[in-house]
């Protein structure tokens, strides 16, 4: 894609957004911006390979992660156009070996993340940790051993990589060729995306591709290590590598006349999902649909081990933005919105929406509430810049946005929900309320406040120490007390790791994976009539109700 001369002041403003990562001693990113199908900015900064001293350029290839998902959805739609797939048929029509769970989702529900299936990636991390390599076939094995779903199909929306993994297997079976060859022949080649490909494993070598980089913590010496994704057979959920030029061609096609896929198929791609309760979810078939500063945007981000991406278009202004990152300390998602701000400016965009300040809800800060029925735990905190934030299932605080009389965690932030509650319900002075009514995906539950002073770990631990097994993880676990720290050591089929537990009440604990605080959740003690702990229930933002059964001493 050629780049015409652009306004010098615009180029300077866009360059300034990248100055902090324009280094020769750290990984970087590549950015492409086009308007009306013509590139107005293309630039690579930082290093494509620290090992070999190779810099990023505008044509460097990188992984796009979950941005791959809508390509997978289009592949299924193309087979539906061929009369080979029924998107509203149950998934077991095409994968009969899958276990019957709480209802059978359709292929369309897999694409909308409303299937209810657990995410193999999340379940795999629970079993083995987030750095253990998985052999080919391991992802399907994980899906096959699940004894229950997160929810019945269509009841909620919860992001699920496993659904798209299954879709790519279905494309292979029905299309009669590998997923990578199907996309090459039916999508990439017709659109001239010659630098795009499906790469199932990080151990593959591809010409012109940047190395993925992860930072090494300062306490471990600092520096960088390779980013290697644990599975060896990633598919439609995140296997594509590409360049900004190819992705800009793709966005121009998404907005304009279609050469791949019928207009009817693309209307389906861009139609929001609707839950069983009638709630409309701003997610189509592998694409996020929303508004930013008064304009419609269509987008999807991606994250991989050692990299991240964002692809976004503003159709009303024919503005397309792609940012691909191989480890730079610059998140492509907010960067893309900064680029939109810079190119379009305040004259074309509405003022940013205001957000509630944490100081206005001071008594709520530090509190936690739990729904007894679902096990969902929501806490309240403030962000680094003072905005009111929620901590969902022990995740880092994410800002709450005002939507009329409601405060809401937007679906796109945690890829579930939305989670919402009335602003008036939060105490502004005095004691926080004992209960709150909070909705997840339109389902309202009564949440009870957890105690401000939790029990001491050593006292709580006496009743739950011992060995457990988790059939859905093919794992065993040992819950032990190390000084005043409760630890759950998990041994899965491919590795072992440790969850550090923090008591929140006499029946609920928070947890974080040792060395990986982004892997976290809540743990509920299931007691029998004699009050003895019989099982542990683990809940995360993508896995609900996973049980660890206590073994006899």
How high is the pLDDT of residue 5? 45
Closest CA to 370 of 508, 500, 544: 508
pLDDT value of position 130: 80
The closest alpha carbon to 211, from 307, 311, 316, 278, belongs to 307
- How confident is residue 2, by pLDDT bands cut at 50, 70 and 90? very low
Residue-level pLDDT at 459: 84
- Distance of alpha carbon 214 from alpha carbon 34, whole angstroms: 30
Q: Where are the beta strands (DSSP E) in 156-232?
A: 197-198, 213-215, 224-226
Domains of the chain: 63-116+151-344 (3.40.710.10), 358-449 (2.40.128), 457-550 (2.40.128.50)
Given a cut of 90, is residue 552 above it in pLDDT?
no
Is the pLDDT score of 89 beyond 80? yes
Indicate the range of 198-212, 269-283, 285-299, 383-397 predicted with least confidence: 383-397
pLDDT in tens, 217-228: 888 889 999 999
Query: How many CA atoms lie within 13 Å of 108's alpha carbon, on the beta-carbon side?
Result: 16
- What is the pLDDT confidence band of residue 6, given thresholds at 50, 70 and 90? low
Burial of residue 117 (number of CB atoms within 10 Å: 0-12, 13-18, 19+): buried
- 533-539 vs 546-550, strand pairing mode: antiparallel
pLDDT in tens, 370-395: 999 899 999 999 888 888 999 999 99
Residue 517: pLDDT band by 50, 70, 90 thresholds? Answer: confident
What is the helix, strand, coil percentage profile of the chain, to 5? Answer: 25, 30, 40
Percent of the chain with pLDDT over 70: 99
**pLDDT tens digits along 321-350:** 999 999 999 999 999 999 999 999 998 999
The per-residue pLDDT for range 49-79, each reduced to its tens digit, is 999 999 999 999 999 999 999 999 999 999 9
Mean of the per-residue pLDDT values of the chain: 93
pLDDT tens per residue, range 238-262: 999 999 999 999 999 999 999 999 9
C-alpha to C-alpha distances, 211 to 24, 169, 348, nearest whole angstrom:
14, 27, 38
The residues with which 283 forms a beta bridge, in sequence order, are 288
pLDDT in tens, 414-471: 888 899 999 988 877 888 999 999 999 999 999 999 999 999 988 887 789 999 999 9
pLDDT value at position 355? 76
This model's pTM is above 0.85: yes
Q: Quick check: helix, strand or coil at residue 276?
A: coil
């Amino acid at each position: 894609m050629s780049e015409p001369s652009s306004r010098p002041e615009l180029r300077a403003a866009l360059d300034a957004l990248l100055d902090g990562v324009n280094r020769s001693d750290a990984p970087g990113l590549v950015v492409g911006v086009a308007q009306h199908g013509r590139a107005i900015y293309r630039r690579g900064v930082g290093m494509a390979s620290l090992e070999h001293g190779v810099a990023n350029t505008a044509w460097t290839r990188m992984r796009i992660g979950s941005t791959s998902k809508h390509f997978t959805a289009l592949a299924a739609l193309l087979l539906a156009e061929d009369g080979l797939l029924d998107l509203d048929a149950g998934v077991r029509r095409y994968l009969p070996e899958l276990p019957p769970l709480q209802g059978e989702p359709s292929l369309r529900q897999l694409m909308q993340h409303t299937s209810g299936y657990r995410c193999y990636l999340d379940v795999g991390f629970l079993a083995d940790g987030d750095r253990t390599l998985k052999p080919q076939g391991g992802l399907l094995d994980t899906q096959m051993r699940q004894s229950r779903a997160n929810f019945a199909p269509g009841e909620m929306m919860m992001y699920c990589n496993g659904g798209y993994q299954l879709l790519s297997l279905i494309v292979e079976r029905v299309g009669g060729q590998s997923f990578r060859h199907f996309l090459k022949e039916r999508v990439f080649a017709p659109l001239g995306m010659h630098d795009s490909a499906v790469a199932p494993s990080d151990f593959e070598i591809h010409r012109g591709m940047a190395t993925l980089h992860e930072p090494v913590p300062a306490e471990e010496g600092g520096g960088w290590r390779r980013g290697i994704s644990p599975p060896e057979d990633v598919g439609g959920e995140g296997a594509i590598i590409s360049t900004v030029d190819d992705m800009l061609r793709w966005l121009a096609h998404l907005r304009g006349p279609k050469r791949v896929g019928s207009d009817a198929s693309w209307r389906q791609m861009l139609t929001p999902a609707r839950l069983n309760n009638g709630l409309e979810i701003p997610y189509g078939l592998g694409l996020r649909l929303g508004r930013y500063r008064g304009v419609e945007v269509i987008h999807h981000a991606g994250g991989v081990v050692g990299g991240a991406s964002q692809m976004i278009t503003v159709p009303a202004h024919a503005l397309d933005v792609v940012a691909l990152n191989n480890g730079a300390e610059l998140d492509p998602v907010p960067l893309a919105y900064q680029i939109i701000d810079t190119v379009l400016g305040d004259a074309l965009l509405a003022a940013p929406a205001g957000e509630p300040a944490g100081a206005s809800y001071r008594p709520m800060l530090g509190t936690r509430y739990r729904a007894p029925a679902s096990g969902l735990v929501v806490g309240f905190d403030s962000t680094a810049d003072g905005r009111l934030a929620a901590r969902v299932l022990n995740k880092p605080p994410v800002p709450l946005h005002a939507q009329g009389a409601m405060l809401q965690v937007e679906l796109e932030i945690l890829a579930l929900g939305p989670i919402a509650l009335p602003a008036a319900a939060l105490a502004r002075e005095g004691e926080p309320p004992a209960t709150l009514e909070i909705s997840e995906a339109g389902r309202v539950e009564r949440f009870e406040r957890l105690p401000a002073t939790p029990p001491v770990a050593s006292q709580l631990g006496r009743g739950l120490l011992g060995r457990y097994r988790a059939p859905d993880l093919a794992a065993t676990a040992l819950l032990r007390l190390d000084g005043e720290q409760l630890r759950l050591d998990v041994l899965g089929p491919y590795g072992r790791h440790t969850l550090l537990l923090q008591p929140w009440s006499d029946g609920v604990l928070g947890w974080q994976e040792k060395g990986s605080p982004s892997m976290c959740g809540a743990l509920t003690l299931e007691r029998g009539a004699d009050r003895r702990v019989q099982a542990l229930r683990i809940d995360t933002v993508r896995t609900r109700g996973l049980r660890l059964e206590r073994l006899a001493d």
